[in-house]
Homo-oligomer: A and B are copies of this chain.
Amino acid sequence: MSRGYTIAIGGAEERLRDPAILGRFVEVCGGREARIAIIPTASRLSDTGPRYERVFDALGVSLIRVLPLATRADCDDPRWLKRVDRADGVFFTGGNQLKLSTTIGGTGLAELIRRRNLEDGLHVAGTSAGAAILSEHMIAFGDEGSTPRADSVTLAPGLGLAPEFIIDQHFRQRDRLGRLLTAIAYNPRLIGIGLDEDTAAFIAPHQTLTVRGSGAITVVDGTDLEYSSMDSSHEHDPVCMLNARVHILTEGASFDASSGRAQPPPVPRDDTDSAREAAS
């Protein structure tokens, strides 16, 4: 089998009224027949797992397992590894991404998820902290503010999925462009994606991401960067960066990491009631 989807959600996704993002995740995993494993390890709240269990249940998923992985030993326990081995999709809840990385990193579970995502079509989704952990380079924490600063972001190794991307979440809501730019300035090889809340990047096996949700995804492409002062900036200094390419992607728009090309949303079928047209 081939690679699975990697699905990064910016946090605060709609779960009750119109759970479009989670519904699309279920679809990708095979719909009602899907087997979904929920990993609530990032969260300190005991009901985080059961809450998502109810959401996926309402979406008609027949087999849902919450994996209560609290320790590194849990993450090497064959009982839980078996659950992941049989799953079509894994879902990481929000919380603290460092709790996730310190508990799961380097365990059999992390290795199994990475291998099955790469070779065996396992789809892996995460929201908020659960989105941050997905990439190879994870934003562990950082400052708010829209311009980059030499010390405004701290990176840590993540799960290693979607290795072309570096992911940030709660993007518009927590003013995080500066720290994403800083992360890109460290090494412009990676593509930064800043996810608004209730907005998801569905990264297909061939590394094209498509947007779902009510917000936007800010793509920061530093591959044409002409200059960055990162190597000579002192702590707290703003960082000079020339020629970053930025795309703001909304529902249906896409970005192909291999070509660096962005595509607008497909033209809607019924555009006749456009508010703008009515107003003119």
Give me the interface of A with B, judged by CB distance under 8 Å: 144-148, 171-173, 175-178, 181, 194, 196, 214-216, 218, 220, 226-227, 229, 231-235, 237-250, 253, 262-265, 271, 274-276
**Taking A171-B147, A232-B271 as contacts, is the C-beta distance between A249 and B245 under 8 angstroms?**
no
Specify which chain B residues have a CB less than 8 angstroms from the CB of A238 in the assembled complex: 196, 214-216, 248, 250
A8 CB → nearest B CB, Å: 16
Residue of B with least CB distance to A237: B250
> How far, in whole Å, are A48 and B275 apart by their CA atoms in the complex?
44
Specify which chain B residues have a CB less than 8 angstroms from the CB of A242 in the assembled complex: 247-249, 253, 262-264
> How far, in whole Å, are A46 and B171 apart by their CA atoms in the complex?
40
20 more contacts with CB within 8 A, not counting A147-B248, A238-B248, A240-B250, are A145-B173, A145-B175, A146-B176, A147-B171, A147-B196, A147-B216, A148-B248, A181-B248, A196-B238, A216-B238, A227-B262, A229-B265, A239-B248, A240-B248, A240-B253, A240-B264, A240-B265, A242-B262, A242-B263, A243-B247
> How far, in whole Å, are A148 and B146 apart by their CA atoms in the complex?
13
Question: Copy number in this complex?
Answer: 2
Specify which chain B residues have a CB less than 8 angstroms from the CB of A178 in the assembled complex: 172
> How far, in whole Å, are A239 and B246 apart by their CA atoms in the complex?
13
Q: Check if B250 sits within 8 Å of A262, measured CB to CB.
A: no
Q: Check if A243 sits within 8 Å of B240, measured CB to CB.
A: no
> How far, in whole Å, are A152 and B148 apart by their CA atoms in the complex?
23
Residue of B with least CB distance to A218: B147
Q: Check if B229 sits within 8 Å of A177, measured CB to CB.
A: no
> How far, in whole Å, are A215 and B178 apart by their CA atoms in the complex?
12
Q: Check if B245 sits within 8 Å of A244, measured CB to CB.
A: yes
> How far, in whole Å, are A146 and B218 apart by their CA atoms in the complex?
9
Q: 5 closest pairs, A vs B, by CB?
A: A216-B238, A175-B175, A147-B216, A240-B250, A241-B248
A38 CB → nearest B CB, Å: 29
> How far, in whole Å, are A63 and B171 apart by their CA atoms in the complex?
49
Specify which chain B residues have a CB less than 8 angstroms from the CB of A276 in the assembled complex: 231-234
Specify which chain B residues have a CB less than 8 angstroms from the CB of A249 in the assembled complex: 240, 242
Q: Check if B240 sits within 8 Å of A177, measured CB to CB.
A: no
> How far, in whole Å, are A175 and B170 apart by their CA atoms in the complex?
14
Specify which chain B residues have a CB less than 8 angstroms from the CB of A173 in the assembled complex: 145
Residue of B with least CB distance to A232: B274
Q: Check if B246 sits within 8 Å of A246, measured CB to CB.
A: yes
Specify which chain B residues have a CB less than 8 angstroms from the CB of A253 in the assembled complex: 240, 242
Q: Check if B244 sits within 8 Å of A239, measured CB to CB.
A: no
Q: Which residue of B146, B231, B239 is within 8 Å of A171 (Cβ)?
A: B146
Specify which chain B residues have a CB less than 8 angstroms from the CB of A271 in the assembled complex: 232
Specify which chain B residues have a CB less than 8 angstroms from the CB of A144 in the assembled complex: 175
